[in-house]
Structure 1
Amino acid sequence: MAGSTAEFRPRFHPAGHDAELRVALEEVRVGRWMPMRNLLARTGDRWGLRTSRSQVLASVAARSHVVWEWLAEEPSNLDALMMRARVDTERVLHAYRAGHAGAGELAHVARASAASAAEMALADPVPWVCRLALAQVDPEKRVREHRAAPPDRMLPTGPWGLLREVWQRDQHNREAHHRMLQALLAAPVGGPAAALNFTHAVKSWVPWQSGSALLVLPLYAYAQHYRDKRERGRYEAIGRAQWTREPLIDDVQRALQGWFQLSDPVERSALDLNHLAHALWAGRRHEEAARVFRAMGRHATAQPWSLVAAEPRDPQSGLEEFLKARRQCLAVAGPARPGSRVPLH
């Protein structure tokens, strides 16, 4: 049967359940830009979907000159200008993670591309998301816009003005808040504690039953907090037990009822689904976790499973943790109800 663990083979695909994006990605891989153009045109001003699709497209387009070939044909196309900012930003992040000395210079180029795209499309949040993403490669906050005053006294300085620009265009923009979280985690002062404070602040801004993916954000901060404790040799004291205590129980419930049960399945991030499934499993809420595992279909992600695996740096160990959790939850929940849909793609 479709949900049986014996037949189950997870797949790691950046498009997740977005079939249209999956098709466009394959075309971009071989250097064809027209399907990307058409997909973004169809997406229009659905800002959340535009943000997520353009992020994934950029992760592939950054490996070639396909966006510049598009710009050569349509130099004034707003989507092409946005994708140039996306690709420039993606290349900065890749260079920074690889330790390349030229990452700072690339960041200047990306910032200029994002500013140009923002000027041409005033309502579009994506260029501002790009600028916000660049804060992650400036942990010392040398760039002025990366050390703005915070909206809450419990939070450190950071790229708050950039986040505010996104808020004005798309208040619940998922990627923007994750970029802010990453910037806080990258800072030499604050780290996981500042990230937790940020997610608690976000929780107060987002209505419970809004369907917003921001309701899942605290689960990422808790997972990072766990990793931080584990790296210091203190993880045994909190381990899975942290997921059975307040305020985590409330945060997991908000993510389940306020996001998972109300959101559009096509727009759900596979990462969000995996974080929610993990939190429910770790909190011993196996039947509810089984619903999330079934909804995600085959779309596993490395995080957060590698954080709790026996060997955090071994991808296979993380995969085994995912499979173990899925197997346990489906065994407790029993077969899917007749008529329920189990995603196969």
Structure 2
Amino acid sequence: MGTGDFRPVYHPAGPDHALRVALQDLRTGRWLAMRNLLESTPDWALWTQRTQVLAAVAAGSDTVHAWLTEEPRSVAAAVMHARVAVERAVRAHREKRPRAQELWQVAWEGCRSAAYASPQDPVPWVCLLALSQLDEGQRLEEHRLPPPGPMLFPGPWGLLAEADARDPFNREAYHRMLQFVYARQSGGTLSEAVNFVQWAASSAPAGSPLHALPLYVRVERYRREHGNERALDLHWVTEDGERDARRALHLWFDAAAPSTRSLLDLNHLAHALWGSLRFADAAPVFRAMGPYYTSVPWSYRTRAPQDAGGAEDVFLRARGRCLASGHEPGTESHG
């Protein structure tokens, strides 16, 4: 394998050690570290990311409710309360639980309260975008507004605009919009998704994570079509596949501050470059991950997408191949 004794680590906090400490406290029912972390978070991008990860863990307990009860005027607590409510509503909808509609209403009201409490914050609007995917038939008017450009679909464009106004090109906002596209009942969603991510990336500045968005649609296509490993390989060495990987490398990875790079984006980019046989280009992306990795998209290369061990094996094989490649960027080898 060429990986030596290296074993990758999966952790929802990735390299964010302060977030890791807050998660440890949160899992024991304590909220003080979470509050202190959010109070010291310096920008909207990191705030969005941290609140999302915290909510995924907090949704299984009443810890955030206890915090809000203790500090009812805390803006961060109000935002986290909305985050948790949305996480619960999305899970209930996905699992088709009987209380899904009720939880959706609770979450919607929580988002509106958080938007009022924190008017400059993009997260309440990102949360409303997350809820929009529950409205698969687009019954609500705010989920079927006219699109801002040709080849796009009616959707929650007003919610995206609100998030954009507070944090332009917010990564999660655009990913939530992409999930909305997938959830639509109108059909043709993959072509709509391609049009959306190309539109989003075309206006994003250098260093924006939106340049990695097209890589997600490529993986989604093969997830839906149950493409085998060989088909996925052939897919990535097409001209379009190589172009998407190359643009993400140069317009996002090379131009972004290392501390701002999402671990999930890094994994998608490394996967795309490896799949398009750009092994030397992928090497610095693998190195940028440090000891961390995410099972997606590597799990789609396995026979069973839930096979975490198989996903790790694919990751290690790809990492070993790319790190063993030549040092000249752009080196292509079919080994």
What is the TM-score when the length of structure 1 is the normalising length?
Answer: 0.90
2:292 to 295, 299, 304: 299
Q: CA 1:30 to 1:237, structure 2 compared with 1: closer, same or farther past 3 Å?
A: closer
- C-alpha contact 2:241 2:276 (8 A) present in aligned 1: no
**Mapping 1:31-42, distance limit 5 Å:** 31-42=29-40
Task: Name the amino acid aligned to 2:263.
Answer: A
Instruction: For residue 156 of structure 1, report the CA deviation from its aligned partner.
Output: 1.6
Instruction: For residue 83 of structure 1, report the CA deviation from its aligned partner.
Output: 0.4
Correspondence for 1:18: 16
Correspondence for 2:84: 87
1:148-187 superposed Cα distances (whole Å, 9 cap, x missing partner) = 1111231221111111111111111000000001110111
- Give SS of 2:73's match: coil
1:262-320 superposed Cα distances (whole Å, 9 cap, x missing partner) = 22323221110100000000010111111111110221212111222233343322222
Correspondence for 1:143: 140
1:101-134 superposed Cα distances (whole Å, 9 cap, x missing partner) = 2112101110100001101211100000000001
- Give SS of 2:214's match: helix
- C-alpha contact 2:82 2:111 (8 A) present in aligned 1: yes
- C-alpha contact 2:242 2:273 (8 A) present in aligned 1: no
- C-alpha contact 1:311 1:318 (8 A) present in aligned 2: no
2:216 to 220, 228, 233: 220
Once residues 3 and 326 of structure 2 are traced to their aligned partners in structure 1, the CA distance between those partners, rounded to angstroms, is: 13
Correspondence for 1:342: none
Task: Name the amino acid aligned to 1:220.
Answer: Y
1:114 to 111, 115, 126: 111
Correspondence for 2:149: 152
Task: Name the amino acid aligned to 1:33.
Answer: W
Deviant stretches of 4+, over 4 Å: 235-238
- Give SS of 2:325's match: helix
Task: Name the amino acid aligned to 1:18.
Answer: D
Correspondence for 1:178: 175
- Give SS of 1:55's match: helix
Task: Name the amino acid aligned to 2:212.
Answer: V
- C-alpha contact 1:156 1:190 (8 A) present in aligned 2: no
Instruction: For residue 141 of structure 1, report the CA deviation from its aligned partner.
Output: 1.3
2:197 to 199, 203, 209: 199
Larger displacement relative to structure 2 (285-294 or 324-333): 324-333
Task: Name the amino acid aligned to 1:229.
Answer: E
Correspondence for 1:245: 238
- Give SS of 1:43's match: coil
Once residues 7 and 315 of structure 1 are traced to their aligned partners in structure 2, the CA distance between those partners, rounded to angstroms, is: 18
1:325 to 300, 318, 328: 318
Gaps of 5+ in 1: 335-345
Once residues 137 and 181 of structure 2 are traced to their aligned partners in structure 1, the CA distance between those partners, rounded to angstroms, is: 11
Task: Name the amino acid aligned to 1:201.
Answer: W
Once residues 168 and 245 of structure 2 are traced to their aligned partners in structure 1, the CA distance between those partners, rounded to angstroms, is: 22
Task: Name the amino acid aligned to 1:16.
Answer: G
- C-alpha contact 1:290 1:333 (8 A) present in aligned 2: no
1:190-227 superposed Cα distances (whole Å, 9 cap, x missing partner) = 322211110011122113xx211111111001111222
Correspondence for 2:161: 164
Correspondence for 1:28: 26
Task: Name the amino acid aligned to 1:117.
Answer: A
What is the TM-score when the length of structure 2 is the normalising length?
Answer: 0.92
Correspondence for 2:258: 265
- Equivalences, count: 325
Once residues 276 and 149 of structure 1 are traced to their aligned partners in structure 2, the CA distance between those partners, rounded to angstroms, is: 32
Q: CA 1:161 to 1:265, structure 2 compared with 1: closer, same or farther past 3 Å?
A: same
1:129 aligns with 2:126: yes
Gaps of 5+ in 2: 328-335
Larger displacement relative to structure 2 (290-299 or 84-93): 290-299
- Give SS of 1:332's match: coil
- Give SS of 1:7's match: coil
